[in-house]
Amino acid sequence: MRAVLLFLGGFAACLSLIVLLGAKHSPTKAKATTDRDVYYPATEDLGKDEMRVVALGTGMPSVRPKQAAACWLVELGNGDKFLFDIGSGCHERLAAQKIPYDYLNKVFIGHLHVDHMGDLPSLWLGGTVMNRLVPLRIWGPSGATKEFGTAASMQKMKEMYVWDIGTRSGVIDFRGGELEVNEFPFNGINEVIYQENGVTVRSIPAVHGLDGAVSFILEWNGLKFVYGSDTIPNKWFVEHAAGADIAIHECFLPPTLLVTKQGFAPKEALMVGTQGHTSPEQFGKVMSLAKPRLAVGYHFYNDFDTEPEVRDRVRRTYDGPLDLAVDYMVWNVTKEEIRVRMSAVDEEVWPSPALKKKIAPDTGSAINFSEFTISGALGFPEVTQPIFDEINEKYGTDIKPLFTK
């Protein structure tokens, strides 16, 4: 009897081993990507008729670990990618998408508040260091006068970073440092500001801050994305967001919470929360009129103790499909379905390598140190030369250090 049991036990063990060895997947291996409830950046191809929208900044001008300031990435099944606003803190969220920088060369800025353009210098100049080898293209509105327009702002930005640019010119392949600025009239109503590769972007005026704020409408392949940037409720958004597949509009904290959570005075809370920005009830009213397939509200500190009140107040005026966004929320949009998920982000991510071949910089345009600064440099040849020798030997080069004394 005991021998039989031993035999059966051994047989079962062998069978388990065979099953284990023969199995294609261990029991802990993730399911197929299409079944996942979480989006892992750079692991899913888009369908040829599909749009992906990623929230890279949904918060306020004072950024916090959970929420950067306004930034939205739109990726299309034809390979095109667009950034709408580029607010403070969003660049690291963008890095988490693992997209080579050559694809991140189109930025549409709805208005020139820091929470909608604060990370532009970082994307512009930071992007050149490793791998954007094409010019950065910017679209933004004019202002009431020339000095308040996007072109003037970009010119000042170039002047502000003249030292940064000076360190890179003639040192790296700096083609990505070139800026292509496309300023368009802020008061154009549904005017085409971009049309390439089957994609059309239009602008409509917004009412926010000063003259010179706009909202955007992107249309491609029968899909329509509408992005408000900042605005109080306005007739242009209501009219032109109608029929959108996804319509994003600011939805500020209600004045009650601006007082209790953010320390605003009552008058300030009312003015900022309803006359300078859009309260949840006003957001709901806008969406009730525009009736998009999906309404997305953003631009508030979205937490367990604020979201319920914001949602309740939106629901007083709107009963359609609704998401209140936080950073890393992702929407896959097709004609049949809008699927929303959260991203799982790789904190260890490095910038994706350059796709184009780098060209050697024209070293003649490099700016040199003065004799004074050079006189202070310690070349440490006994330390530095072996580092050069190691590389030169490995790659068959003959590179020499700049500082030799």
For the bound state, the minimum distance from the C-beta of residue 34 to Zn ion, rounded and expressed in Å, comes to 35
> Nearest CA to 111 among 69, 49, 76, 74?
69
Stretch that binds Zn ion, among 17-25, 230-238, 323-331, 347-355 (CB under 5 A): 230-238
How many residues of this chain interact with Zn ion, rule: CB under 5 A? 3
Which of 75, 115, 119, 173 binds Zn ion (CB under 5 A)? It is: 115
| Interaction between residue 230 and Zn ion (CB under 5 A) | yes
Q: At 225, is the secondary structure helix, strand, or coil?
A: strand
For the bound state, the minimum distance from the C-beta of residue 299 to Zn ion, rounded and expressed in Å, comes to 6
For the bound state, the minimum distance from the C-beta of residue 114 to Zn ion, rounded and expressed in Å, comes to 9
DSSP string, 338-354: EEEEEEPP-TT--PPPP
| Interaction between residue 52 and Zn ion (CB under 5 A) | no
Of 66 and 335, nearer to Zn ion (C-beta) is 66
176 vs 367: CA distance, rounded Å: 19
For the bound state, the minimum distance from the C-beta of residue 115 to Zn ion, rounded and expressed in Å, comes to 4
Sheet bearing 295-298, strands edge to edge: 191-196, 199-205, 214-220, 223-227, 246-250, 295-298, 322-324
For the bound state, the minimum distance from the C-beta of residue 247 to Zn ion, rounded and expressed in Å, comes to 17
Of 115 and 219, nearer to Zn ion (C-beta) is 115
DSSP string, 30-70: PPPGGG-SEE-TTS-PPPTT-EEEEEEE-S-SS-BTTB-SS
CA distances to 81, 136, 159, 186, 219 from 199, in Å: 10, 18, 33, 21, 6
Stretch that binds Zn ion, among 13-21, 216-224, 229-237, 313-321 (CB under 5 A): 229-237
Stretch that binds Zn ion, among 18-26, 112-120, 180-188, 372-380 (CB under 5 A): 112-120
Stretch that binds Zn ion, among 75-83, 115-123, 343-351, 386-394 (CB under 5 A): 115-123
| Interaction between residue 113 and Zn ion (CB under 5 A) | yes
Strand 214-220 to strand 338-343: parallel, antiparallel, or no bridges (unpaired)? unpaired
Residues that bind Zn ion (CB under 5 A): 113, 115, 230
